[in-house]
Structure 1
């Protein structure tokens, strides 16, 4: 899908060669525009205007806005119509904790259900993560990270969990977009955490996979400024 980033309030039209349904493509593009700030919080949106900018009819836009409202990314207000929802630090922190819990559940299920082919694909992704870490290539790491988690989600076979995590990852991206982001010194730590998660999956240990995944997500949320650092433990006397 072509990049959605453009001038504030302007949305790139959808490409004809995309093979997803118009409703799905519109949903993904508008969600991306909200995450990137192209459609900022409080901005009023209308089906007709969005359809014109996307180069499609109003029906798939109506479908996309309905899904975005279910995700909490837009709201319908009396006498104002549909607007992009305000998403403050406290809300992002709450959603981050929810995502950490669900990602842990997904890892536990994947430890029970992922087949050998899935584990091999994870190993290949880890190799790309290693290269991206050594080169400090954030774009390559972001792409590999998305594939890593999506593969674990699919291995659960739980459609409700997959959809819930898909919605929550949009908020995670929103939090990262607003934050400073990971520093080069944080990248090796993330690679070690991903390797530890894969090791738990290979051991078919659901409890260990869940704990490692949840810890990884919470640590990344702290790194990206979505969650505050945990309080330091006082040394025992």
Structure 2
């Protein structure tokens, strides 16, 4: 029988989401052991959903299993950022365009609320990137394409972990938040072409900024 919590969410999904967010935020640093009993105690969840979550995280390359040693947070390769961005630019643009065409009124309202919070909220890295990720995930959901949403969420997790590790001591860039707001504005207006262009520009500009900081000339 599938274990669920209030609201119908599976316990394994809850465990996955919480452990994923700890890894992406680098609260669980690369190389950290993912001990099932310790995670169970920390999250207040049973061992079965923890194990299912860890299996899923290994498939998404956020965790790695070493025989006879256990499961660990996967290492970060900064060079992966460029390869991830090549894919994400194309798919983020597609998701934004589809969201402009398919988002419900409730989803448009949610995007406006999240974008407002992002623009006017904290510039502390941990606060900003967590909210920024919520905006991205809301856009993916509004595209109403399960395959696209699943792919983009996996790439987002990997990319944001690199960014959080590289930029954790730097405040958020307000220009970045305003370019994300431009994506949301185009989606809310139903302008698919403008949404695609804004999403592509948003990602290209930010990844260029990250690379300039990680690999200064």
Q: Same fold (TM over 0.5)?
A: yes
Name the TM-score, length of structure 2 as normaliser.
Answer: 0.76
Distance 2:43 2:107 in 1: 36
Indicate the larger mover: 31-40 or 88-97. 31-40
Q: 1:99 aligns with which of 76, 83, 88?
A: 88
CA contact (8 A) 1:96 1:226 kept: no
Deviation per CA, 1:178-208: give whole Å up to 9, x if none. Answer: 1236656x30x23442343244335544333
Deviation per CA, 1:95-147: give whole Å up to 9, x if none. Answer: 23323322111111112212444434434444434433xx7576665455344
SS of residue matched to 1:65: helix
Q: Which residue of 1 aligns with 2:164?
A: 177
Distance 2:41 2:124 in 1: 36
Listed as ranges, the matches of 1:77-92 within 5 Å are: 77-92=66-81
**1:153 partnered with 2:143:** no
SS of residue matched to 2:48: helix
Distance 1:102 1:157 in 2: 13
Which consecutive residues of structure 2, in runs of 5 or more, have no partner in the other structure?
Answer: none
Name the TM-score, length of structure 1 as normaliser.
Answer: 0.71
Aligned pair in 2 of structure 1 residues 146, 30: CA closer, same or farther (>3 Å)?
closer
Q: Which residue of 1 aligns with 2:208?
A: 222
**1:50 partnered with 2:56:** no
SS of residue matched to 2:167: coil
SS of residue matched to 1:152: helix
Aligned pair in 2 of structure 1 residues 158, 42: CA closer, same or farther (>3 Å)?
same
Deviation per CA, 1:52-93: give whole Å up to 9, x if none. Answer: 444433211110011101111112234434332212101233
SS of residue matched to 1:105: helix
Q: How many residues align?
A: 211
CA contact (8 A) 1:190 1:216 kept: yes
Which consecutive residues of structure 1, in runs of 5 or more, have no partner in the other structure?
Answer: 1-15, 232-237
Distance 2:57 2:213 in 1: 24
CA contact (8 A) 2:166 2:214 kept: no
CA contact (8 A) 2:76 2:162 kept: no
